[in-house]
């Protein structure tokens, strides 16, 4: 297949590498130059514009940081909507809001194209090794066409139905639940520290008992070791996601009180200079409120 990938951050580079490794014809574009050298060395074509990344492509993947970037790349002059061939697919793999995904679905349909929402579950190391989970939604025929890409990029694809915003809502809900787990662990670590317990002991109790899931193992270890500069997902991006979760709740008239708390804690962590650290730094923010920092 002829594939374009737009957005070569930590996740985008991993995804592009998996697509290239599966033997697809790959064109890559990134707003900031210099991030595609390893991909070009492996056989990808580096292109200077969004339009060239879309030219004669079957599928164009975008992996972008936020809704503003997606809107500019997809709907701006010379963007994906203007440049993608009729019948081609725009696969949105970043974490975005329900509103922008609905707007893009309509815009691509009006241009004879198809939107597939396929947000991913996992950190950058999982992207590079093909171990991402993928939540995919869109017309059945489009999902079938994208299956070779899903198989190359991820360990499992969870099909969420024909409406792209279904995948969007699942990804937001998943990140919301993960955020609640991160916040709860931060509170628990502060509690045991007050009783003179080393955080590593609580981590072992959690992960060898009732909380043996990857969320507790990975983020619990980062917290116990205070390895917040080992960044997989920044506090800044987490704040973006919790704002999207709350917006989705407003749209659906669903109260999300825990999301409001998370947003406030993330704002406080950013105010304390932790915007670009891993969002597990919520444990440090909790420790501050407990007088431990």
The domain that holds 272 is classified in CATH as 1.10.1040.10
Alpha carbon distance 127, 133 (integer Å): 9
Alpha carbon distance 24, 262 (integer Å): 40
Q: How many domains does the chain have?
A: 2
pLDDT 10s digits, 30-84: 988 888 999 999 999 999 999 999 999 999 999 999 999 999 999 999 999 999 9
Set 2, 35, 147, 171: catalytic member: 171
In this prediction, residue 34 carries a pLDDT of 81
From 142, 162, 182, the end of a domain falls on: 162
pLDDT 10s digits, 163-183: 999 999 999 999 999 999 999
Tokens of 86: 């009729």
Domain match, 203 and 79 both:
no
Query: How remote is the C-alpha of 3 from its chain's centroid?
Result: 20
Alpha carbon distance 92, 147 (integer Å): 14
Domain match, 148 and 181 both:
no
From 102, 132, 162, the end of a domain falls on: 162
Give the pTM: 0.93
pLDDT along the chain (293 residues), means of 10: 96 96 96 88 95 97 96 96 98 97 98 98 93 97 98 97 98 97 97 96 97 95 96 95 97 97 97 98 96 91
Domain match, 69 and 99 both:
yes
Alpha carbon distance 72, 75 (integer Å): 6
Domain match, 35 and 125 both:
yes
Domain match, 280 and 257 both:
yes
Q: Which domain holds residue 239?
A: 168-289
Cα of first residue to Cα of last residue in the chain, in angstroms, is 53
From 113, 133, 162, the end of a domain falls on: 162
Asked about 240 being catalytic, the answer comes back as no
């Amino acid at each position: 297949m002829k594939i374009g990938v737009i957005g070569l951050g930590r996740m985008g580079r991993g995804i592009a590498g998996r697509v290239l490794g599966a033997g697809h014809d790959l064109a890559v574009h990134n707003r900031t130059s210099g991030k595609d050298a390893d991909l070009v060395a492996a056989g990808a074509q580096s292109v200077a514009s969004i339009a060239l990344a879309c030219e004669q492509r079957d599928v164009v993947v975008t992996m972008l940081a936020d809704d503003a970037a997606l809107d500019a790349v997809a709907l701006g002059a010379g963007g994906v909507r203007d440049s993608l061939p009729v019948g081609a697919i725009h696969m949105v793999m970043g974490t975005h809001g329900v509103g922008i995904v609905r707007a893009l679905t309509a815009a691509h349909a009006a241009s004879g194209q198809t939107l597939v929402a396929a947000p991913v579950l996992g950190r950058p190391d999982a992207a590079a090794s093909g171990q991402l989970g993928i939540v995919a939604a869109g017309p059945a025929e489009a999902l079938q066409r994208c299956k070779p890409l899903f198989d190359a990029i991820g360990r499992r694809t969870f099909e969420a139905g024909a409406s792209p915003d279904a995948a969007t809502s699942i990804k937001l809900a998943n990140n919301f639940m993960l955020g609640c787990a991160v916040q709860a662990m931060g509170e628990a670590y502060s509690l045991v520290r007050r009783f003179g317990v080393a955080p590593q002991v609580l981590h072992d109790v959690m992960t060898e008992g009732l909380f043996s899931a990857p969320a507790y193992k990975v983020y619990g270890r980062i917290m116990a070791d205070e390895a917040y500069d080992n960044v997989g997902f920044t506090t800044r991006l987490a704040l973006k996601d919790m704002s999207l979760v709350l917006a989705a709740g407003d749209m659906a008239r669903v109260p999300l009180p825990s999301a409001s708390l998370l947003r406030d804690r993330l704002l406080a962590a950013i105010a304390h200079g932790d915007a670009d650290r891993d969002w597990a730094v919520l444990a440090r923010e909790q420790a501050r409120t407990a007088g431990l920092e």
